[in-house]
């Protein structure tokens, strides 16, 4: 397995100040890079072509993590923004990186790009066999266009761009804002606040029946770094843990870790989202040598501890 040596290289990480990006940046700092560039969204609008033209000069590797992203409620309230922002950020970033002569571009997709009723476990070959779950579709399809662009630029220009599909991430530093957080941070916050308030119950969206696969953020960062070094093919690659848990089981587990003593009630008037999510991780294992290391309950405890110390 040939490997890209990052020593002395200039690496740019969009979204490097975010949840996943901050963990990846810490790994990259150990790689003896020539230069590590982490632009901040407060200073640069990646949706604008002009911004991207100036950003990628003299850069060897781009890892594009920047995204406008949230949970089911956020997706329902901001579908147009999610489509527009993520499409433009991806299209401009890759195009300008190609024009600037970047040697490698790593694009991150999302599990939301898969069809609503994908056979479980989700194989990369099934990515185009149906429409995404409705609440995720604008975000998922905008991100999936990066795969189309990546393969098209490889075909026409010989541009070395790869596309990764991480499953749901969690861990210390996650977004716990109730207006935009994903399921694990949202539930942790609910249970911690309920415990403090000595509430009798916690209300969880949906039926509790859907399942999800979760990948600890440090594992995800390691997988991205391995792909950056080892993968140079047009086919997408799933990054996951091969662990599946129902929302009901997850809710009870978080409640137990937090020490919540009350009842859990499922609000069936709220959407469930995709029925099941569990991905086939064999390509990542074979091509990258990547296998997740952090056990789910261990990672969950670390995440709860981090939030409680905030």
Q: How confident is the model at residue 19 (pLDDT cuts 50, 70, 90)?
A: very high
Write the burial class of residue 44 (CB in 10 Å: 0-12 exposed, 13-18 middle, 19+ buried). middle
Is a pLDDT exceeding 70 seen at residue 1?
Answer: no
Residue 75 reports pLDDT greater than 90: no
User: The domain 10-173+213-242+278-293 belongs to what CATH superfamily?
Assistant: NAD(P)-binding Rossmann-like Domain (3.40.50.720)
16 or 52: which leads in pLDDT: 16
b/e burial code for range 261-294 (CB count within 10 A of at least 16 → b): eeebebeeeebbbbebbbbbbebbeebbebebeb
% of the chain residues with pLDDT over 90: 86
Backbone angles phi, psi at 64, to 5 degrees: -95, 100
Contacts of 82 (CB under 8 A, 6+ apart): 68, 69, 70, 75, 138, 139, 142
pLDDT, average across residues 80-98: 96
Confidence of residue 53 (pLDDT cuts 50, 70, 90): confident
Query: What's the mean pLDDT in 189-207?
Result: 95
Residue 288 pLDDT greater than 70, yes or no: yes
pLDDT score, position 286: 98
- Least Cα distance to 108 among 79, 75, 145, 60 occurs for 145
Please give the average per-residue pLDDT across 78-106, as a whole number: 96
Q: Give the tens place of pLDDT for each residue, 133-183.
A: 998 899 999 999 999 999 999 999 999 999 999 999 999 999 998 888 889
pLDDT score recorded for residue 70: 82
Residue 181 pLDDT? 86
Looking at residues 236-264, what average pLDDT do you find? Answer: 96
25 vs 70, higher pLDDT: 25
Residue 51, pLDDT score: 78
Task: Name the burial class of residue 80, with classes exposed (0-12), middle (13-18) and buried (19+) by CB atoms within 10 angstroms of its CB.
Answer: exposed
How confident is the model over 266-279, as a mean pLDDT? 91
Note the pLDDT of residue 99: 96
Dist. CA 1–CA 310, nearest whole Å: 42
Mean pLDDT across the stretch 203-210? Answer: 95
pLDDT of residue 27 exceeding 80: yes
Backbone φ and ψ of 165, nearest 5°: -120, 85
Q: What is the mean pLDDT of residues 302-308?
A: 97
* Predicted confidence (pLDDT) per residue in 107-139, tens digit: 999 999 999 999 999 999 999 999 999 988 999
Average pLDDT of every residue of the chain: 94
Q: What is the pLDDT of residue 260?
A: 96
Q: What gap in Å lies between CA 214 and CA 169, rounded to an integer?
A: 6
- Containing 163, the helix (H) or strand (E) segment is strand 161-166
| Residue in 139, 153, 170, 216 annotated catalytic | 139
Best CA proximity match to 1, nearest among 221, 229, 223 = 229
153 is known as an active-site residue: no
In this prediction, residues 60-81 reach a mean pLDDT of 91
């Amino acid at each position: 397995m040939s490997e890209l040596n990052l020593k002395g290289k200039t690496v740019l990480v969009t979204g490097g100040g975010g949840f996943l990006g901050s963990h990846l940046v810490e790994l990259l700092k150990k790689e003896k890079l020539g230069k590590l560039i982490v632009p901040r969204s407060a200073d640069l609008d990646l949706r604008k072509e002009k911004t991207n033209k100036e950003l990628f000069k003299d850069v060897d590797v781009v890892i594009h993590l920047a995204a406008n992203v949230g949970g089911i409620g956020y997706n329902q309230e901001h579908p147009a923004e999610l489509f527009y922002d993520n499409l433009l950020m991806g299209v401009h970033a890759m195009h300008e990186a190609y024009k600037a002569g970047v040697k490698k571009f790593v694009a991150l997709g999302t599990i939301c790009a898969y069809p609503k009723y994908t056979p479980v476990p989700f194989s990369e070959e099934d990515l185009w066999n149906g429409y995404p779950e409705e609440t995720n579709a604008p975000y998922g399809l905008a991100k999936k266009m990066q795969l189309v662009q990546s393969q098209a630029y490889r075909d026409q220009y010989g541009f070395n761009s790869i596309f990764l599909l991480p499953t749901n991430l969690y861990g210390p530093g996650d977004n716990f804002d109730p207006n935009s957080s994903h399921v694990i941070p949202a539930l942790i916050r609910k249970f911690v606040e309920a415990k403090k308030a000595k509430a009798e119950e916690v209300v969880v969206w949906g039926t509790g029946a859907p399942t999800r696969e979760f990948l600890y953020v440090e594992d995800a960062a390691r997988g991205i770094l391995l792909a950056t070094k080892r993968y140079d093919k047009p086919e997408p690659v799933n990054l996951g843990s091969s662990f599946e848990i129902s929302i009901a089981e997850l809710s009870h587990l978080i409640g137990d870790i937090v020490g919540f003593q009350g009842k859990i009630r499922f609000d069936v008037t709220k959407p469930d989202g995709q029925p099941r999510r569990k991905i086939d991780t064999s390509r990542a294992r074979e091509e990258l040598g990547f296998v997740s290391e952090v056990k789910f309950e261990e990672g969950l405890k670390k995440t709860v501890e981090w939030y409680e110390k905030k």
